[in-house]
Copies of this chain bind each other. A is one copy, B any other.
């Protein structure tokens, strides 16, 4: 592709890698959905799961018996979290893209074994992903803790990629006069009106934590 053109220079400005924890944490805290990559029998497997962050580590959980969770124990994994912000409609086909913020975390997944530690992390999961609910929930049982596997990864090998092209900016200078509409179509993630269980006990009303639920309600 030869020497940098206007186009590649532009890309460098609006699509950048970041390694600072504030940027990384902001993405992880705003999007619980993660895609966890394992290697099983030499082949990659990518599993969607919910992650939560506690300080310098991220966590995810599942059944202790889960094949993919067990495969992650002590193994090299890659956890990727992606937020999509806008579709980029450019003047030329190949400059179309999606503005996004993503974080990749690499490392050896640690399996939490201590029952008391597992209980603490499961409370932290609820406090992070479903804030406000923990004190009201039916308490977790020892058997539930036993049958739950929790994996964790430090954020020491994490990086963010931020693509935040301003409207109309991805096209080369010489394409800007092309007579086609160009700009961004924002992608919004919002929460709808909560749908109650049909069998709620009498007197149980919609709490603020459900009425106002949104991703990224994190206090630490």
Residues of A within 8 A of B (CB): 1, 32-33, 35-39, 42-48, 50, 63, 65, 76-80, 82, 84, 86-87, 89, 91-94, 96-98, 100, 102, 104, 106, 122-123, 125-126, 129-130, 133-134, 136-138, 140, 144, 147-148, 167-169, 171, 175-201, 203-207, 210, 213
A125 contacts B185, CB within 8 Å? no
A33 contacts B82, CB within 8 Å? yes
- Interchain CA distance A200-B89 in the complex, whole Å: 12
Highest count of chain B CB atoms <10 Å: which of A33, A185, A207? A185
**Residues of chain B with a CB closer than 8 A to A104's CB:** 45-47
Whether A94 touches B182, Cβ cut-off 8 Å, given contacts A82-B48, A130-B87, A197-B168, is no
**Residues of chain B with a CB closer than 8 A to A191's CB:** 87, 185-188
Whether A126 touches B93, Cβ cut-off 8 Å, given contacts A50-B98, A133-B180, is yes
This protein's copies in its complex: 2
- Interchain CA distance A129-B17 in the complex, whole Å: 25
B93 contacts A32, CB within 8 Å? no
B168 contacts A45, CB within 8 Å? no
CB distance from A170 to the nearest CB of B (A): 10
Whether A43 touches B201, Cβ cut-off 8 Å, given contacts A180-B138, A185-B191, is no
**Residues of chain B with a CB closer than 8 A to A181's CB:** 136, 194, 196, 200, 204-207, 210
Whether A46 touches B50, Cβ cut-off 8 Å, given contacts A182-B197, A184-B194, is no
A180 contacts B35, CB within 8 Å? no
**Residues of chain B with a CB closer than 8 A to A205's CB:** 181
CB distance from A35 to the nearest CB of B (A): 4
Query: Which one of B122, B182, B210 lies within 8 Å of A200 (CB-CB)?
Result: B182
Highest count of chain B CB atoms <10 Å: which of A78, A97, A138? A138
**Residues of chain B with a CB closer than 8 A to A45's CB:** 37, 78, 104
CB distance from A169 to the nearest CB of B (A): 7
A183 contacts B197, CB within 8 Å? yes
